[in-house]
Structure 1
Amino acid sequence: METLSLHYQAWRDAFLSQGLSFIEEDEFIREYAGVSGGRMVAAVAAKLNYNLDIKELQEYKKKVFLEQYIMHVTPIEKTFAIVKKYHGKLPMVVASGGAKQAVAQMLHLNDVFAYFQQVFAIEDVTHGKPAPDVFLKAAQDQGILPENCLVFEDHFAGFAAAKSAGMRYIDVNELVEN
Structure 2
Amino acid sequence: MANPKIAVIISSTREARFADKPAAWLMDKVKDHAELDFELVDLRDQDLPFFDEKASNLWMPSEDPRAVAWQQKLAGFDGFMFVVAEYNRSITGALKNALDQAYKEWNRKPMTALAYGSLGGARAMEQLRLISIELQMVPLRNAIHIGGGDFFKVSPLGQNAPISEIEENLKGALKGTLEELTFYAKLLKDARV
Q: Does TM-score exceed 0.5, indicating one fold?
A: no
TM-score, with normalisation over the residues of structure 1? 0.30
TM-score, with structure 2 as normaliser: 0.29
- Structure with a larger share of its residues in helix: 1
* The structure with more strand, counted as a fraction of residues: 2
